[in-house]
Amino acid sequence: MTQAPRAIRSALSSARMLVNRLSSFAVVAASLAAACSSALPQASAQSDVGPTPAAIAKADSGRPPYTKADVKFLQGMISHHAQAIVMTAMAPTHGARADVRILAERIDVAQRDEIAFMQRWLRERREVVPDPAAKHDMGGQPMSDMDMPGMRMPGMLTPQQMTELSAARGAEFDRLFLTSMIQHHKGALAMVDELFASPGAGQDGAIFRFASDVTADQTTEIDRMMSMLKPR
Amino acid sequence: MRFASSALLLVVALSGGTGCSSALLRSPSDSTDLSEFPPNPDPRVGLRAGWWDAGEAIWNLRVVSKTRPSEKFTNPSTPGDSRLTNSDLAFLGNYVFQGNYSGYQVWDISNPAKPTLRTAYVCPGSQSDVSVYRNLLFVSAEATNARTDCGMQGVTDTVSKERARGIRIFDITDVGRPRPLATVQTCRGSHTHTLVTDPRDPANIYVYVSGSAAVRSAGELEGCSALLPEQDPNSALFRIEVIKVPLASPERAAIVSSPRIFNDLAAPAKHGESAADSALAAERARASGRPPRQTFPGRGPTQCHDITAYPAIGLAGGACAGYGFLLDIRDVAHPKRIGAVADSNFSFWHSATFNNDGSKILFSDEWGGGTQPRCRVTDKMQWGADAIFTLSDNTMQFKSYYKMPAAQTSNENCVAHNGTLIPIPGRDVMVQSWYQGGISVFDWTDAANPKEIAYFDRGPMDSTKHVDGGYWSSYWYNGYIVGSEMSRGLDLFELKPSAFITRNEIEAAKLVKFEYFNAQEQPKLVWQPSFVVARAYLDQLRRDDGLPRARTFAVARELEAIEAMGNKRAALIRLSTALDAEALQNADIRRIRLLAATLRNMAKVER
């Protein structure tokens, strides 16, 4: 099985979902237009913008339209982050040098918080919420495999890479940890790219902000890890 | 606890008052808390949760007003809706411009106790970072849902000419009816921007655009390239954009330069991806129909988050991902990097603030982007904090970290965010937002020992789950601290006299008035030479034992006497000369000289 049919299937389903969302938006817009112009008599040159942001937010109960790509991005990213936490947990016990341990601790805190955000977002929308704790084996099958059999999220370490990292100590661990985490972070950036390449995705401000924060933080961290790899 | 500390202050006030003149005692009001110790335990810990009825803790500040956001930007049924987030602030006359992810609001604060809404302009496209200059309003648009027509329907096509990412310019001649003038589109959109005036070029103003989001395709905006600079000299990476705005025809605003301030920061490191990973990326790229992102880091950041320009000293501080930059902006259209610092405790360099004389620079680390809880009891005090550097000969030297000290819950987004100097002469005092960690006022005159001296905090938006809220920005403007609360609106505060700030210092701070204020373009603070400024310095000399106490009381009595004179000139010069002469024999030479100079300058206007 190649990627193409799956990609087409997914694109079609995204498009369908989007059409549904857009038509519901139109209905909302039409039904609200009358009510708000009188409800909000505020001085403004904007008389023709239609429903206010508040009216739209109220109509969709604070849940802006989203696509299947948004959901898959978050579900995949939970599995992706979960592996990073397994990796960072090794630093204190594998003889990592001080700055690597600090970095690992920060990645650990950051990615745990982000997992909490992603789970919250999915839960509030009654989407499937992957449980990162369900995958404690060393780089085994990530949760997203339920959706995409045989495929790991970009940048994730293979079971063999995880075994090598787990076996390494001291300077060798530092080198492997940094190179592996760079690979891992680059995968996250690729996932963000993929999200924004998908029609209608990232229109929910919470997703846009989260994805942009992932890009900003992880690009910065990759840069830092690259400099940490340099001979000192 | 309050009782205990008041009792303590009474003792301090009485003992301090022995032998002191009436001039000293006349300032403290009945409700003044003169304790040198913050309330303990910290009342910010354990506050009741709530959107509109959260518990509050306040110290050395007074709430002047709390105003809910415009109805257009409030959805009462869903707290913390990210579409309705209030963001940054800009000031013009009596107006406050408050960004919102769905547009912006203009408030009239002529009566600070009751701000009134002039307009709520709908125009989605976060973050809506705002700046003002005369009749022009500048608004950052970054998100992919931002439309050129300000419509609410978003932009679902991945490539679209309807998308607006960059700087929107409005004519605000009538603030009640802003008129869109132009949108200057940029490759990465505008996350924040910095308005920069050029003292030598009054016909134009400049806007530095910082945008850290993904580069859009050349199909959407011609010339945009995410390739590396060596592969494509027009790469939108590793550069900022400078927009020139002709004041006579602002609709002709355009990008005039794209300075590569990141060049040569670090040599590109060699790192090969695993073969499997490259293959996977290529496959995904084919499936998505766009080239894979070119990420070859190890050569520094590709963008800045925020740049704070200080034209009076020709410098800007750039908070640029993993680095803090010092930029030479004497040629405003062509900023050049002249210094850079990194810090292993810093995750994401977010913003910069100079002290007034340019001898220090403070950078903040917005670890987690502002939506994460980074002030829990388990979070380190040096992470998500401010880093304070001294600045001399364009070299930055690290001195200390500062972080709002009260532990917050895991339901409160909290990290260092936007703030400004409070113009107290002789000291470096800053007010800063910490999202749901509230507002913290601190003194960083001693760069190695920053100290909190006032605060305000609310409980979390929700006690059961994380709901975004808190202060995005809190800036001093013409006598007030104005706070933009992401979910709760606009709050105004006043400083209350305390053991850390006297009434004279507050009155001196209120002397500094601006016609307009954009936090990212730091104005030079200048104080009208006056008795209140002199007394502010004198209060500082007494507080810090910079001059023997008896001498401070004698000088205070002398100032009283001079104030009552007809022609004050000779007496002012006499006291000024005496102080200059004794400066070197005392602990605080700098402030004694500042006091003497103030008196001398007062004498100049006495004819």
Those residues with Cβ within 8 angstroms of residue B59's Cβ, 6 or more apart along the chain or in another chain = B33, B38, B39, B43, B454, B455, B456
**How far apart, in whole angstroms, are the C-alpha atoms of residue B492 and residue B485?**
11
pLDDT at B180 over 90: yes
Contact B322, A223 (CB under 8 A): yes
pTM: 0.86
Residue of B280, B294, B351 best to disrupt the A interface, most CBs of A under 10 A: B280
Per-residue pLDDT of chain A (232 residues; tens, 9 = 90+): 333 333 333 433 444 444 344 444 443 333 333 333 333 333 445 655 578 999 999 898 888 889 999 999 999 999 999 999 999 999 999 999 999 999 999 999 999 999 999 999 999 999 999 987 765 444 444 444 344 433 589 999 999 999 999 999 999 999 999 999 999 999 999 999 999 889 888 888 889 889 988 988 898 899 889 989 987 6
Banded model confidence at residue B153, pLDDT cuts 50, 70, 90? confident
> Which residues from A are below 8 Å from B287, CB to CB?
3-4, 7
| pLDDT tens per residue, range B99-115 | 999 999 999 999 999 99
CB B363 within 8 A of CB B351: yes
Say yes or no to pLDDT of B282 above 70.
no
What is the layout of strands, in order, in the sheet containing B471-477? B56-59, B451-458, B439-443, B429-433, B418-422, B471-477, B480-485, B489-495, B61-67
What DSSP element (H or E) covers A165? Answer: helix A159-167
Average pLDDT of B6-21? 35
Average pLDDT over residues B409-418: 96
**Closest Cβ–Cβ partner in B150, B212, B290 for A197:** B290
Long-range pairs, A38-41, Cβ under 8 A, ≥24: A39/B71, A40/B71, A40/B72
* Contact state of B281 with A154 under an 8 Å Cβ cutoff: yes
Amino acid in the structure at residue A103: L
Residues of chain B positioned with their CB less than 8 A from the CB of A65: 154
**Is B11 or B499 the better-scoring residue by pLDDT?**
B499
CA dist list (Å): B573 to A176, B42, B538, B604, B606: 71, 47, 17, 9, 11
The Cα–Cα gap between B366 and B415 comes to 6
| DSSP annotation of B82 | G
Give the tokens for residue B505.
């210092």
Query: Does the model's ipTM exceed the 0.95 cut?
Result: no
B298 falls in which pLDDT band (50, 70, 90)?
low
Tell me the residue type at B166: G
B15-65 tens-digit pLDDT: 333 333 333 334 434 456 778 899 999 999 999 999 999 999 999 999 999
**Beta-strand runs (E) in B329-479:** 336-341, 349-354, 360-365, 386-392, 395-402, 418-422, 429-433, 439-443, 451-458, 471-477
* Section B557-575 average pLDDT: 97
Note whether A223 contacts B281, CB cutoff 8 Å: no
Q: How far apart are CA B436 and CA B467, in angstroms?
A: 10
Instruction: Tell me what pLDDT residue B90 has.
Output: 98
Q: Which chain B residue is nearest to residue A185, measuring alpha carbons?
A: B295
Q: Does residue B146 have a pLDDT over 70?
A: yes
Rounded Cα distance between B214 and A191, Å, is 12
- Per-residue pLDDT band at B266 (split at 50, 70, 90): low
Peptide bond into B127 cis (omega under 30): yes
| pLDDT digits 0-9 by tens, B21-32 | 333 334 434 456
R_g (Cα) of chain A, nearest Å: 21
Mean pLDDT (chain B, rounded): 89
And the tokens for B565?
A: 């004179």
| A205/B126 CB distance under 8 A | yes
Give the A:B interface size as CB pairs under 8 Å.
Answer: 233
Contact B71/A49, CB-based, under 8 Å?
A: no
Q: What pLDDT score was predicted for residue B35? A: 82
Smallest Cβ–Cβ distance between A61 and the set B78, B150, B321 belongs to B78
Residue B189: closest C-alpha in chain A: A212
Q: B315, B412, B296: which is closest to B355 by C-alpha?
A: B315
Amino acid identity for residue B417 in this structure = H
Beta bridge partners of B435: B471
What distance in Å separates the CA atoms of residue A76 and residue A73, rounded to the nearest whole number?
5
Q: From A115, A110, A185, select the one nearest B384 (Cα to Cα).
A: A110
Q: What does the alpha-carbon distance between residue A53 and residue A37 come to, in Å, rounded to a whole number? A: 12
Cβ–Cβ < 8 Å for B185, B209? no
User: What is the residue whose two structure tokens read 């006349």?
Assistant: B26
State the pLDDT at residue B279: 42
Place of tokens 């499997």: B276
Partner-chain residue, chosen from B122, B287, B302, that has the shortest CB–CB distance to A52: B122
Average pLDDT over residues B62-69: 98
Most B-contacting residue of A32, A99, A177, A186 (CB-CB within 10 A), to test interface? A186
Alpha-carbon distance values, A40 to A46, B47, B52, B67, B488 (Å): 12, 34, 21, 17, 19
User: Which of A57, A113, A229 lies nearest to residue B78, judging by beta carbons?
Assistant: A57
Each residue of B446-498: pLDDT tens digit?
A: 999 999 999 999 999 999 999 999 999 999 999 999 999 999 999 999 999 99
CA distances from B326 to B123, B192, B237, B341, B567 (A): 34, 18, 19, 9, 47
> With an 8 Å Cβ cutoff, are B82 and A206 in contact?
yes
N- to C-terminal Cα separation, chain B:
53
Answer whether A196 sits within 8 Å of B214, measured CB to CB.
Answer: yes
Helices A170-196 + A98-124 axis angle, to 10? 30
For residue B315, count other CB atoms closer than 10 A to its CB.
Answer: 24
Q: In whole angstroms, what is the distance from residue B339 CA to residue B321 CA?
A: 15
On the question of pLDDT at B246 being above 70, the answer is yes
pLDDT tens for each residue of B201-215: 999 999 999 987 778
Query: Is residue B23 within 8 Å of residue B430, measured between CB atoms?
Result: no
Q: What is the pLDDT of residue B347?
A: 79
Residue B249 has pLDDT above 50, yes or no: yes
Are residues A189 and B295, on separate chains, in Cβ contact within 8 Å? yes
Neighbours of A146 (CB within 10 A): 12
Q: Within a 10 A sphere around the Cβ of A124, how many other Cβ atoms? A: 14
Closest CA to B395 of B361, B432, B442: B361
- Name the residue with tokens 């408030």: B107
Q: Do A209 and B369 touch (CB under 8 A)?
A: yes
Q: Both tokens of residue B410?
A: 């895991």
Say if CB B297 and CB A222 are below 8 A apart.
yes
Among B81, B157, B302, the residue with its CB nearest the CB of A57 is: B81
